[in-house]
């Protein structure tokens, strides 16, 4: 679904590459988590998948990015909006500011693209059910909780029916309840077969929700593999990422394991096996 | 150490919408985390601590000082408040000037202010950026500048509003070390925190808030084992706590190290053997 | 989102019985008429119409506040024109060395009527209609959505910047800066705020711009609207009346 080949990019007026020879592929229906230290290129990668790089941020761009076989560099941003949706950290700055209700806010993107009102209504119903915000449709988007606002932001880009959803640290600014609301929404989307790329620092949550993880360090890809393999990798300490505490525990007992559990249920199972083997 | 007493405090901006109701708390030396959903009144509580807001009823005392009787600029000698959004705080063109602003205001000499600023920048890992423009730095680095600005004031009470947001693993660890360092120096550290793992690993005491009231105060062990409190505050126990419960351990662990030790003690029969292994792998365990 | 606007929602015919575009047409017609009406009685008549509309909208109090705000300007015009207008030669009255002439006073009166009428007519629109509604009405009729958006965004930016300034001030107080002191001290304290406020506004504008692009804002081609525009009975008739009356006044003004 997403194919990145040799992508190298630097922002205008900078020499340092923000992305260096990035190559990766995301399968249809897959949820890919992206981790890395601050400044490693995670947000830039999100922008590149959607087309903000190179269309909004001009700069030195080589390599190829395709989403559903469409070349991002050769497509107008408005066109890309129907193939890739991007959700940012700060819910407030994502709203159009021109709409007084959640319903109208969700419609905003569709209005820009000239959809018929009947289609808009259908899509609004679909996304609000999926993201459990039907009861919020007539509310003012600026008067919602953080978690609700982010779900409205997701709904607004989802209404354009992109094939891919990209989320750049969507729960950074949220409290624990908001965070779990967003991850629950992502689980629903995963069940529907949505291809998702999510950048986050929260290793435990990523391990639970992602099929594979991609680690970025200094603008380069270090690894793309399942969470268990990523967190069990011998070099993981050098990547500057958070390691799930569950994995840390397991590694204390089995330091040479090539793949370690990263979620609670997995860890419980592996620890019980460990005890059984050593009794 | 400067004890803080909050006595029967209620606060609201308009009478119909109370933000805090009848809050009574005591803060002593050490690190206290304030947790709870957004809207529970945590930020309001922070602002009451340095006099930016005055209680509608009740009193807030910093040591012997009643916040109702002094302007914030005076209380700032004793209570440093690190705001959440660095862009709401930074207003100088040079990191050095920004960090020196606080100490100069509260009466330090230019030489003292400079020294305090450089030490503070060292502590947050940004000593090298001392002459740069704060807006040329990343958001996470600007957050660290704000922390440095308050550390440089060397106040006996330091209050943080969600210091770990937008920080990566290294940044979070550094924040934890700063919190712990300040607490170990005998200062009173108070922080709003959303990351329960961070609370478990670095804080001595927890205050749980919901709907403008205090739900519970206690040690992290006590609070994180109280299912009712967790449900009402919409938070989950930290990872190691959840693991302790799931494995049916007799002790509730808060950190990876303590869990590993407890688990070894409870389940692994070749204890001596295992302890040797632990010692040998100490390098790997210091994660 | 807070918007810098004088609009206060109320339930009157002017607020809810007239759609934004009709009110906009009224304003434009009123302003043109104010310039072309050749007699004082005509100008007074227009003023009376504006005031009646304001009263109907229950906004007299706020409108009068704006009008009295312009009082100083008008008095100045009277004084200056009465004394110094070129073409002054008919003495109205004299107070010692001060000679007030008829031509100057007439000129000042003409200008004053125009100013007051424009303010009153603007108030009819601005006090009773939200900027977003006005912009939407224009965009529906072909105003570039980008221009409409920019205007709405500017009106939103100002309260945001003001909030930002007050938070920055709180942060400064928390770092020991005293707010007491005279005007000079406070002004000096305010100036360093401008840089970061503007800068952080730019940062959030950049975020907003990205979010808009992600929602297809810059796609060329026709937009659509989720809701049909509410067409209120008689709007078309009213607009025709306004335009026709203005045309008559135009002719009258040119011929007189």
Does C172 lie at the interface with B, CB-CB under 8 angstroms?
Answer: yes
Indicate yes or no: CB of A252 within 8 angstroms of CB of B246.
no
- Pairing state of beta strands A195-199 and A31-36? parallel
Indicate yes or no: CB of A104 within 8 angstroms of CB of C1.
no
Indicate yes or no: CB of B88 within 8 angstroms of CB of C193.
no
- Pairing state of beta strands B30-35 and B213-218? unpaired
SS3 assignment, position B44:
helix
| Cβ B179 vs Cβ B162: under 8 Å | no
What would the two tokens of residue A95 be?
């709203």
What would the two tokens of residue B112 be?
């003292």
Q: How far is C188 from chain B (nearest CA, A)?
A: 13
Indicate yes or no: CB of C226 within 8 angstroms of CB of A156.
no
Q: Which residues of C touch A86 (CB under 8 A)?
A: 210, 214
Q: Which chains touch A (3 or more CB pairs under 8 A)?
A: B, C
Question: Dihedral of CA A4/A6/A12/A17: which sign?
Answer: positive
Residue of C nearest to B50 (CA): C174
Indicate yes or no: CB of A81 within 8 angstroms of CB of C215.
yes
Listed in sequence order, the residues at least 6 apart from A231 whose beta carbon sits closer than 8 Å to its beta carbon are A203, A207, A243, A244, A247, A260, A262
Sequence spans of domains, chain A: 2-243
| Cβ B193 vs Cβ B199: under 8 Å | yes
| Cβ B224 vs Cβ B217: under 8 Å | no
Rg (CA), chain B: 20
Distance, in Å, from the CA atom of B283 to the CA atom of B287, rounded to the nearest integer, reads 8
Indicate yes or no: CB of C224 within 8 angstroms of CB of A115.
yes
Q: Rounded to the nearest 5°, which phi and psi values hold at B116?
A: -60, -40
* pLDDT value of residue C1: 65
**pLDDT tens by residue, B114-162:** 999 999 999 999 999 999 998 888 888 999 999 999 999 999 999 999 9
* pLDDT value of residue B287: 39
Indicate yes or no: CB of A78 within 8 angstroms of CB of C149.
no
| Cβ C13 vs Cβ C110: under 8 Å | no
Nearest Cα to Cα of residue B239 among B203, B204, B273, B199:
B199
Q: How far is B111 from chain A (nearest CA, A)?
A: 34
Select the residue of B36, B167, B239 nearest A245 (Cβ to Cβ). B239
Q: How far is A200 from chain B (nearest CA, A)?
A: 9
* pLDDT value of residue B284: 47
* pLDDT value of residue C197: 78
* pLDDT value of residue C256: 76
| Cβ A85 vs Cβ A127: under 8 Å | no
Q: Which chains touch B (3 or more CB pairs under 8 A)?
A: A, C
Give the residue-averaged pLDDT of A239-251: 94
Q: Which CATH number fits domain B4-235: 3.30.2130.30, 3.10.20.30, 3.30.70.2660, 3.40.50.300?
A: 3.40.50.300
Crossing angle (nearest 10°) for helices C40-56 and C60-69: 140
Name the one residue in this structure whose structure tokens are 């660890």: B173
Select the residue of B38, B284, B287 nearest A175 (Cβ to Cβ). B38
Q: Which of B165-169, C177-181, C193-197 has the highest mean pLDDT?
A: B165-169
* pLDDT value of residue B277: 64
Does A252 lie at the interface with B, CB-CB under 8 angstroms?
Answer: yes
Residue B19: CB atoms within 10 A of its CB come to 20
**pLDDT tens by residue, A198-212:** 999 999 999 999 999
Select the residue of A47, A97, A111 nearest C224 (Cβ to Cβ). A111
Select the residue of C168, C175, C178 nearest B88 (Cβ to Cβ). C168
Q: How far is C156 from chain B (nearest CA, A)?
A: 18
Indicate yes or no: CB of B83 within 8 angstroms of CB of C167.
yes
- Pairing state of beta strands B30-35 and B205-210? parallel
Optimal mutation site among B33, B140, B169, B261, interface A, most CBs of chain A within 10 A: B169
Name the one residue in this structure whose structure tokens are 């550290």: B189
Distance, in Å, from the CA atom of C11 to the CA atom of A104, rounded to the nearest integer, reads 23
Q: Which residues of B touch C175 (CB under 8 A)?
A: 76, 80, 101-102, 105-106, 149-150, 153
Indicate yes or no: CB of B260 within 8 angstroms of CB of A252.
yes
Q: Which residues of A touch C226 (CB under 8 A)?
A: 103-104, 107, 110-111, 117, 120-121
**pLDDT tens by residue, A83-130:** 999 999 988 889 988 888 999 999 999 999 999 999 999 999 999 999
Q: Which residues of A touch C227 (CB under 8 A)?
A: 104, 117
Q: Is B51 left (phi over 0), alpha (psi -120 to 50) or beta?
A: left
What would the two tokens of residue C81 be?
């024109």
Select the residue of A180, A241, A249 nearest B169 (Cβ to Cβ). A241
**pLDDT tens by residue, C64-98:** 888 888 888 888 888 888 888 887 778 877 887 78
Optimal mutation site among A43, A91, A113, interface C, most CBs of chain C within 10 A: A113
Does C167 lie at the interface with B, CB-CB under 8 angstroms?
Answer: yes
Give the residue-averaged pLDDT of A25-37: 96
Does C216 lie at the interface with B, CB-CB under 8 angstroms?
Answer: no
* pLDDT value of residue B32: 97
* pLDDT value of residue B278: 63
Instruction: Tell me the CATH class for A2-243.
Output: alpha beta
| Cβ C102 vs Cβ C38: under 8 Å | no
Give the residue-averaged pLDDT of A181-186: 94
Optimal mutation site among A201, A255, A272, A276, interface B, most CBs of chain B within 10 A: A201
* pLDDT value of residue B274: 57
**pLDDT tens by residue, C93-130:** 788 778 888 888 888 888 889 989 999 999 999 888 88
Q: Which residues of chain B have pLDDT under 70?
A: 268-287
Select the residue of B39, B171, B242 nearest A38 (Cβ to Cβ). B171
Exposure class string for A208-222: b at 16+ Cβ within 10 A, else e = bbbebbbbbbebbbb
**Residue A60 host element (H or E):** strand A60-67
| Cβ C181 vs Cβ B109: under 8 Å | no
Nearest Cα to Cα of residue C46 among C33, C58, C57, C59:
C33
**pLDDT tens by residue, C131-167:** 888 888 888 888 888 888 888 888 877 787 888 888 8
Indicate yes or no: CB of C195 within 8 angstroms of CB of B93.
yes
Residues facing residue A215 across a β-bridge: A35, A223
Q: Which residues of C touch B106 (CB under 8 A)?
A: 175-176
What would the two tokens of residue B16 be?
């119909």
Q: Which chains touch C (3 or more CB pairs under 8 A)?
A: A, B
Distance, in Å, from the CA atom of A228 to the CA atom of A245, rounded to the nearest integer, reads 13
Sequence spans of domains, chain B: 4-235, 238-287
């Amino acid at each position: 679904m997403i194919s990145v080949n040799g992508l190298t990019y630097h922002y205008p007026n900078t020499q340092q590459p923000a992305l260096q020879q990035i190559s990766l592929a995301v399968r249809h229906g897959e949820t890919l988590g992206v981790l890395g230290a601050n400044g490693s290129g995670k947000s830039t990668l999100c922008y590149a998948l959607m087309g903000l790089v190179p269309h909004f941020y001009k700069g030195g761009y080589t390599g190829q990015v395709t989403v559903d076989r469409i070349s991002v560099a050769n497509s107008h941003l408005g066109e890309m909006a129907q193939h890739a949706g991007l959700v940012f950290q700060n819910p407030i700055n994502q709203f159009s500011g021109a709409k007084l209700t959640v319903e109208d806010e969700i419609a905003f993107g569709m209005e820009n693209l000239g959809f018929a009102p009947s289609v808009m209504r259908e899509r609004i119903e679909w996304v609000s059910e999926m993201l459990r915000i039907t009861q919020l449709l007539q509310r003012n988007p600026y008067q919602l909780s953080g978690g609700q606002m982010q779900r409205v932001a997701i709904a607004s880009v989802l209404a354009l029916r992109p094939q891919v959803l990209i989320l750049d640290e969507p729960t950074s600014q949220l409290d624990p309840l908001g965070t779990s609301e967003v991850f629950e929404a992502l689980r629903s989307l995963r069940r529907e077969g949505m291809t998702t790329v999510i950048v986050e620092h929260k290793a435990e949550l990523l391990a639970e929700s992602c099929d594979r993880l991609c680690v970025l360090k200094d603008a380069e890809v270090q690894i793309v593999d399942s969470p268990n393999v990523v967190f069990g990798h011998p070099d993981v300490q050098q990547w500057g990422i958070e390691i799930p505490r569950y994995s840390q525990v397991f590694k204390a007992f089995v330091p040479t394991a090539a793949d370690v559990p990263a979620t609670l249920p997995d860890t419980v199972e592996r620890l019980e096996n460990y005890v059984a083997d050593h009794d | 150490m400067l004890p803080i007493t909050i006595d029967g405090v209620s606060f609201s901006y308009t009478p119909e919408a109370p933000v805090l109701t009848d809050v009574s708390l005591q803060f002593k030396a050490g690190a206290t985390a304030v947790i709870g959903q957004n809207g529970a009144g945590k930020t309001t509580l922070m602002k009451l601590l340095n006099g930016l807001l005055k209680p509608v009823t009740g009193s807030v005392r910093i040591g012997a000082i009643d916040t109702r009787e002094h302007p914030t600029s005076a209380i700032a000698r004793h209570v440093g408040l690190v705001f959440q959004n660095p862009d709401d705080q930074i207003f100088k063109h040079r990191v050095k000037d920004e960090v020196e602003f606080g100490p100069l205001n509260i009466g330090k000499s230019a030489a003292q202010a400079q020294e305090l600023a450089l030490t503070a920048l060292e502590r947050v890992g940004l000593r090298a950026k001392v002459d740069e423009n704060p807006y040329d730095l990343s958001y996470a680095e600007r957050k660290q500048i704000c922390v440095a600005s308050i550390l440089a004031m060397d106040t006996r009470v330091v209050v943080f509003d969600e210091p770990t947001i937008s920080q990566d693993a290294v940044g979070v660890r550094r924040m934890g070390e700063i919190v712990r360092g300040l607490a170990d120096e005998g200062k009173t550290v108070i922080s709003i925190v959303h990351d329960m793992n961070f609370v478990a690993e670095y804080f001595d005491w927890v205050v749980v808030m919901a709907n403008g009231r205090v739900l519970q105060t206690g040690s992290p062990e006590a609070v994180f084992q109280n299912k009712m409190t967790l449900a009402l505050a919409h938070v989950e126990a930290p990872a190691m706590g959840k693991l302790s419960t799931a494995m049916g351990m007799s002790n509730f662990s808060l950190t990876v190290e303590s869990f590993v030790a407890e688990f070894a003690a409870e389940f692994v029969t070749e204890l001596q053997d295992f302890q040797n292994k632990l010692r040998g792998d100490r390098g790997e365990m210091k994660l | 989102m807070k918007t810098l606007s004088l609009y206060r929602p109320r339930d009157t015919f002017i607020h809810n019985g007239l759609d934004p575009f009709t009110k906009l047409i009224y304003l434009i017609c009123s302003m043109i008429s104010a310039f072309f009406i050749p007699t004082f009685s005509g100008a007074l008549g227009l003023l009376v119409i504006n005031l009646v509309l304001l009263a109907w909208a229950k906004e007299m109090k706020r409108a009068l506040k704006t009008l009295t705000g312009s009082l100083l300007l008008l008095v100045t015009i009277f004084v200056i024109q009465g004394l110094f207008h070129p073409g002054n030669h008919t003495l109205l009255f004299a107070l010692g060395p001060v000679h007030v002439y008829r031509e100057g006073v007439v000129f000042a009166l003409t200008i004053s009527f125009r100013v007051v009428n424009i303010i009153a007519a603007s108030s009819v629109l601005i006090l009773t209609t939200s900027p977003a509604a006005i912009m939407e009405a224009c965009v529906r009729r072909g105003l570039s959505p980008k221009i409409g958006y920019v205007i709405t965004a500017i009106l939103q930016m100002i309260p945001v910047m003001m909030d930002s300034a007050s938070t920055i001030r709180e942060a400064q107080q928390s770092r020991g800066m005293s707010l007491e002191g005279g005007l000079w001290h406070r002004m000096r304290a305010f100036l360093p705020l401008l840089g970061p406020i503007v800068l952080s506004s730019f940062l959030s504008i950049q975020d907003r711009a990205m979010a808009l692009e992600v929602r297809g804002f810059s796609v060329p081609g026709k937009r659509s609207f989720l809701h049909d525009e509410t067409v209120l009975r008689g709007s078309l008739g009213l607009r025709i009346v306004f335009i026709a009356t203005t045309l008559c006044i135009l002719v009258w003004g040119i011929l007189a």
